[in-house]
Amino acid sequence: MANSDVGRPSNIPLMTISGLLLLYGVFVMTGLFTPLLKSLHVHKQIDLMEVLCFTAAGLGFATALLRQARMNKPMTKRDIYVLETIPGILFIMLLAMGIRWFLEPVVGIVSVQLVPLLGFKIHKVLNLNYVVLGIIIGIIITNTWGIPKFAASGVKTARFVLKMGVILLGARYSFAELAKLGMVSVWMIGFFVLGTVFFVLFLGNIFRQPKSMTGVLSAGMGVCGVSATVACAPVVRARCSEMAYTIGTILGFGILCMFAFPTIGKIVGMNPTQFGAWAGTGILNSAQVAAACLAFNAVDIKTLKVGEIFNITRVLFLPVIVLVLASWYGRRNGAKLSFKEVVVDKFPIFILGFLLLFAMSSVGLFSPPGHYKGKYLDFSYNQRTEVTPEELTVLENAQQTGIPGLDASEEAAFADLIRQHQIAGDFNDRDNKEAFDATARKRMAGLESILARAKGREIVISGEVKSALTHAVKQVHKKSKTIVTLTDAMIWFFAYGLIGLGMQITRKSLAQAGGWPLVMGAISGVTKAALSFIVVMYFVRDVVLK
By the criterion CB under 8 A, which residues form the site for another protein? 158-159, 162-163, 224-227, 229-231, 233-234, 239-241, 243-244, 247-248, 250-251, 254, 285-288, 315, 318, 345-346, 348-349, 497, 501-502, 504-506, 508-509, 511-512, 514-515
Return the DSSP state at 208: T
Nearest CB to another protein, comparing residues 81 and 175: 81
In whole angstroms, give the CA distance from residue 152 to residue 17. 15
The Cα 97–Cα 101 span in angstroms is 6
Nearest approach, Cβ of 162 to another protein (angstroms)? 5
* Minimum distance from residue 491 beta carbon to another protein (Å): 17
Q: Are 423 and 379 in contact (CB under 8 A)?
A: yes
DSSP-derived letter for residue 150 is G
In sign, the C-alpha dihedral spanning 267, 187, 291, 508 is negative
Q: How far is CA 51 from the centre of its chain?
A: 22
Least distance from C-beta 374 to another protein, angstroms? 38
Which amino acid is residue 486, in one-letter code?
L
- Output the smallest distance, CB 315 to another protein, in A: 6
- Cβ neighbours of residue 72 closer than 8 Å, sequence gap 6 or more: 5
What is the spatial distance between Cα 504 and Cα 49, in angstroms, rounded to a whole number?
Answer: 28
Q: Which of 162, 484 has the CB closer to another protein?
A: 162
Give the residue with the Cβ less far from another protein, 99 or 158. Answer: 158
Question: How far apart are CB 110 and another protein at their closest, in Å?
Answer: 28
Smallest gap, in angstroms, from Cβ of residue 224 to another protein?
6
Please state the closest distance from residue 115 (CB atom) to another protein, in A.
33
Distance CA 283, CA 252 (A): 11
Nearest-10 Cα torsion for 443, 296, 347, 1:
-80
Q: Which C-beta is closer to another protein: that of 151 or that of 535?
A: 151
377 phi and psi angles, rounded to 5 deg: -120, 145
- Which C-beta is closer to another protein: that of 348 or that of 425? 348
CB of 244 to another protein, least distance (A): 5
Q: Which is nearer to another protein, 63 or 227 (CB)?
A: 227
Q: Which of 342, 315, 273 lies closest to 186 in space, CA to CA?
A: 315
Q: Which long-range contacts (CB under 8 A, 24 or more apart) does 316-320 make?
A: 316/348, 316/351, 317/189, 317/190, 317/193, 317/194, 317/223, 318/223, 318/224, 318/227, 318/228, 318/231, 318/346, 318/348, 319/343, 319/344, 319/346, 319/347
Which DSSP helix (H) or strand (E) runs through 149? none
Residue number, 231 or 417, with CB nearest to another protein: 231
First to last CA, the chain: 49
Tell me which H or E stretch contains 382: none
**Cα dihedral 278, 279, 283, 284 sign:** negative
Query: Of the two residues 215 and 446, which places its CB atom closer to another protein in the complex?
Result: 215
Q: Is residue 447 within 8 Å of residue 468, measured between CB atoms? A: no
- Using the minimum distance from each CB to another protein, give the nearer residue, 383 or 512: 512
Cβ of residue 343: shortest distance to another protein, in angstroms?
12
DSSP letter for each residue of 478-527:
PPPHHHHHHHHHHHHHHHHHHHHHHTT--HHHHTT--HHHHHHHHHHHHH
- Alpha carbons 460 and 451: distance in angstroms, whole number: 10
Q: Which is nearer to another protein, 200 or 235 (CB)?
A: 235
> What gap in Å lies between CA 51 and CA 536, rounded to an integer?
42
CB nearer to another protein: give 345 or 458: 345
Closest CA to 122 of 259, 269, 284: 259
Q: How far is the CB of 130 from another protein (least distance, A)?
A: 18
Closest contact distance (angstroms) between CB of 137 and another protein is 15
Cβ of residue 518: shortest distance to another protein, in angstroms? 12
Task: Report d(CA 125, CA 266) in Å as an integer.
Answer: 9
Q: Is 70 helix (H, G, I), strand (E, B) or coil?
A: helix
Least Å distance, CB 114 to another protein, is 30
Which lies closer to another protein via its Cβ, residue 143 or residue 174? Answer: 143
Residue number, 15 or 166, with CB nearest to another protein: 166
